[in-house]
Amino acid sequence: MTATAPTRLFHFVAGNTGPWRIEDARWICGDPLPAATHISVLPDTAGFQASAAAWSLRGITSNERYVTRAEKSALLARQQGLGRAQATRAALIPIRKNAAWWALTQDERRQIIEDQSRHIAIGLEYLPAIARRLHHCRDLGGSEPFDFITWFEYAPEHGSAFDELVAALRASVEWQYVEREADFRLIRNME
């Protein structure tokens, strides 16, 4: 018998209840999303119904596009998974890049992401404090409002390091191609 593969599709559902309370919602660029107080992250198998949500986004985990073998090995050696007990803070940062970005070729995009912007090298400096999961939206259909849903978890004492990381990335050439971005900072509800 074949084991069922874990789902790669995740829903990010905002409303007035959920395990993550929105501490801060920032609209970095582009249209904002409707107001909400809580966010739930639901694997597709949870049978989510969109009707009760203030808004919901979805994205799918995928293979890497840009990392070299050396970078992948460095990431695997340092990164930790989601769900750590001490990681009671999270950030949900949905991002859409512009048409100019998507008109580039794969090698041109890699050049911008790493050679010009050092996204991976900078990110590596923040492991293992920050745990992350990248979700892609473009291949789910034509009407997704963002291209990526990024999710990060960390302990409260690493909040300022996370701010520093985000500021470094937003100052990079790669971010000149970002046309819509929201930034939700979250606190996990304690049972």
150 part of the interface to ligand HEM, by CB under 6 A: yes
Q: What is the DSSP letter of 113?
A: I
With a CB cutoff of 8 Å and minimum separation 6, the contacts of 23 are: 185, 186, 187
182 part of the interface to ligand HEM, by CB under 6 A: no
| Contact residue for ligand HEM among 19, 38, 66, 138 (CB under 6 A) | 66
169 part of the interface to ligand HEM, by CB under 6 A: yes
120 part of the interface to ligand HEM, by CB under 6 A: yes
| Contact residue for ligand HEM among 11, 132, 135, 185 (CB under 6 A) | 132
Side chain identity at residue 16, one-letter code: N
42-71: string of b/e by CB count within 10 Å (b at 16+)? Answer: beeeeebeeeebeebbbbbeeeeeebeeeb
3-state class of 179 per DSSP? Answer: strand
24 part of the interface to ligand HEM, by CB under 6 A: no
57 part of the interface to ligand HEM, by CB under 6 A: no
Which of 52/140 has CB closer to ligand HEM? 140
Sign of CA dihedral 98, 125, 132, 109: positive
Residue nearest to ligand HEM (CB): 123
By CB under 6 A, name the binding residues for ligand HEM: 64-67, 75, 93, 95, 119-120, 123-124, 126-127, 130, 132, 134, 148, 150, 165-166, 169
